[in-house]
Amino acid sequence: MSLLLSGGDLKTRPGRFGILLGTLAMAHMLVALAWSLVVVSAANAASMRPVGAEKGMVVTAQHLATEVGVDILKSGGNAIDAAVAVAYALAVVYPAAGNLGGGGFMTIRFADGRTTFLDFREKAPRAASRDMYLSKDGKVIKSLSTIGWLAVGVPGTVSGLEYAREKYGTMARAALIEPAIALAEDGYTLDQGDVDMLASATEDLRRFPETTDIFLNKGEPFVAGQRLMQPDLAETLHLIRKEGAAGFYRGKTASAIVKASREGGGLIDQDDLERYRTREFAPIECDYRGYHVISAPPPSSGGVAICEMLNILEGYPLPELGFGSAQALHYEIEAMRHAFADRYSLLGDPDFTSNPVQRLIDKSYAAKIRDVIKPDRAELSSDIRLGVAPHEGSNTTHFSIIDDAGNAVSMTYTLNDWFGAKVVASGTGVLMNDEMDDFTPNPDSANIYGFARGNPNAIVSGKTPLSSMSPTIVTKDGKPVLVLGSPGGARIVTAVLQTILNVVDYGMNIQEAVDAPRIHNQWLPEETKIERYALSPDTRKILESMGHRFEDSTPANHIAAILVGAPSLGGKAIGRNRFYGANDPRGGTGLAQGH
């Protein structure tokens, strides 16, 4: 990786040299002392107990998919087998984000300590071009990249699942895909959570007759207790079962996608589909207070941003400051602000841009950032002079799996927005993504900050858009400790960060860590988004007096996490249970279950 020193060099960040280290240390001590009265202890939050199990654990956003994964583990499959079966099942029972027509990432840590990362995220069709979503006067026509066929990137999920199964799985394709076929063919009963998810997109789903036919009940929203049948999707899954990836990228399904795309004004052709290949990369790895973090490399920004933030925060006494203390939150927000400025400005598809990864995750870079973080004053995001403002979709799904041997899979995949571009090629039952919206559609806007390097996330034919998906695994002393990830676009990165902090620094058990209210700052806008109860009124006042600004946010993430060994780090195992799963209560349909 190159060590780029132009765009993201801290030289562009004003004020770095104005602060003397000694002054900073003194100020830090005084501030910590002054605020020690509002430090909140983390222990014993009011959460359900984590779900314990002895031989394996699966946490997904939909209970039926979790059951599929547990069945595969019980029948002797490894974590990769279970992940493939879960992903096929989620394409049926969690159609908002589970998918065949999208893409994603899989981080694997094998029981013998090896790690790898599979990238099966979408690519821009060959005919795609830099300004394809701009009007004649250079303005972004937003709907073109979010709904309908022009928004669709070349899907990677089926390629990725078959690649994972062939290379790292142990079971036959039929066994892994059969549960999904049954759920599509026989249907499944919709719970309130499933119905709420469908209802969130009723009007957009109505815009396309093929989509309406599947996801609305004779044109009206489904209600809980009704059954969702998907015979076309079952047929597509049958073809994959028979022919593997070729059953999707060639033949009947591919022809239907190409035809619908052409008729709908999209760009995907047969060649795009046949050329699609999963890529395998080394994950991003870094250390935090004795723990080893394994996460997503570019084309995700997730691992880089998480490591950058952890490196910054390692220099502050978070455990002493305490969960929810104004001082700890100040440092967390500032770390987020800096990491996101880099994330949005410097990273892109590694086949098209040279990402300054090593520099961004270097401890000395974090130390330089700490030098400019004032202990008692929020920095203005607009003073961190880098790149282009954030732009990305936010709806995705994540699941975490660990098997008896200790193989761990952390997988996040997506259609981008809920139900993607809302289009389905007739006869396939496959919802297609709107991942093209994750490119920066107006790369010239970067120049408002004098950013000279060219935008690394501009649309280029065959390129993969930058992602925030951060499937992550944490180890200690060579053993897996934590498997986690989340949906939520940019908020994925900060949700994963805070869950790690909650476990490592604040001593929470895994369910408490997942449940705890979260904050999110992504450099631009200035405001930090806060979930309800994330800040007490007096903590908020302290932070506002330091220059922080806040706005409310609705819960956007559904963390799926597993802690290994005990419900909390350093805790005691319960009976023979080795694995402790936590399903995020923010989602209405998920389940942690083991065996």
List residues binding ligand GLY (CB under 6 A): 392-393, 396, 414, 416, 438, 467-469, 489
Q: How many residues does the chain have?
A: 595
| Residue placing its CB nearer to ligand GLY in the complex, 381 or 414 | 414
Contact 226, 217 (CB under 8 A): yes
Torsion of CA 341, 342, 346, 349, to 10 degrees: -100
Q: In this structure, are residues 514 and 496 in contact, taking their beta carbons and an 8 Å threshold?
A: no
Residue 297 or 406: the one with the smaller Cβ distance to ligand GLY is: 297
Distance from C-alpha of 528 to C-alpha of 535, rounded to nearest angstrom: 11
155 or 489: whose CB is closer to ligand GLY? Answer: 489
Check: CB of residue 346 under 8 Å from CB of residue 356: yes
Are the C-beta atoms of residues 479 and 554 closer than 8 Å to each other?
Answer: no
Name every residue whose Cβ is closer than 8 Å to that of residue 13 and which is 6 or more positions away in sequence.
372, 383, 384, 385
Considering the complex, what minimum distance in angstroms separates the CB of residue 469 from ligand GLY?
5
Tell me the C-alpha distance between 479 and 474, whole Å. 9
Q: Which is nearer to ligand GLY, 151 or 543 (CB)?
A: 151
Task: Report the residue number, 414 or 455, with the smaller CB distance to ligand GLY.
Answer: 414
Residue nearest to ligand GLY (CB): 467
> Does residue 491 sit in helix, strand or coil?
helix
The residue annotated as part of the active site, out of 66, 396, 397, 472, is 396
CA distance 529 to 548: 11
Least distance from C-beta 557 to ligand GLY, angstroms?
12
DSSP 291: E
Q: How far is the CB of 458 from ligand GLY (least distance, A)?
A: 16
**Cα–Cα distance measured from residue 553 to residue 511, given in angstroms and rounded to the nearest whole number:** 21
Q: How far is the CB of 350 from ligand GLY (least distance, A)?
A: 15
Contact yes or no for 415/91 (Cβ under 8 A): no
- CB of 389 vs ligand GLY, minimal distance in Å: 16
Q: Would you call 107 helix, strand, or coil by DSSP?
A: strand
Of 397, 470, 392, the residue nearest 435 (C-alpha): 392
Nearest to 53 by CA among 546, 591, 537, 502: 591
Cβ neighbours of residue 495 closer than 8 Å, sequence gap 6 or more:
486, 488, 518, 520, 557, 559
Number of H helices, E strands in the chain: 20, 19
Supply the minimum distance, in Å, between the C-beta of residue 515 and ligand GLY.
23
The rounded distance, in Å, linking the Cα atoms of 588 and 196 is: 8
The distance of closest approach from Cβ of residue 277 to ligand GLY in the complex, given in angstroms and rounded to an integer, is 19
- 505 and 319 in contact (C-beta within 8 Å)? yes
Of 414 and 539, the one with the shorter C-beta distance to ligand GLY is 414
Closest CB to ligand GLY among 325 and 472?
A: 472
- 472 is a catalytic site residue: no
Helix or strand holding residue 163 (H, E): helix 157-168
CB 484 within 8 A of CB 374: no
By beta-carbon proximity to ligand GLY, the closer residue of 61 and 171 is 61
Nearest approach in angstroms of CB 405 to ligand GLY is 30
User: Which residues are marked as active site?
Assistant: 396
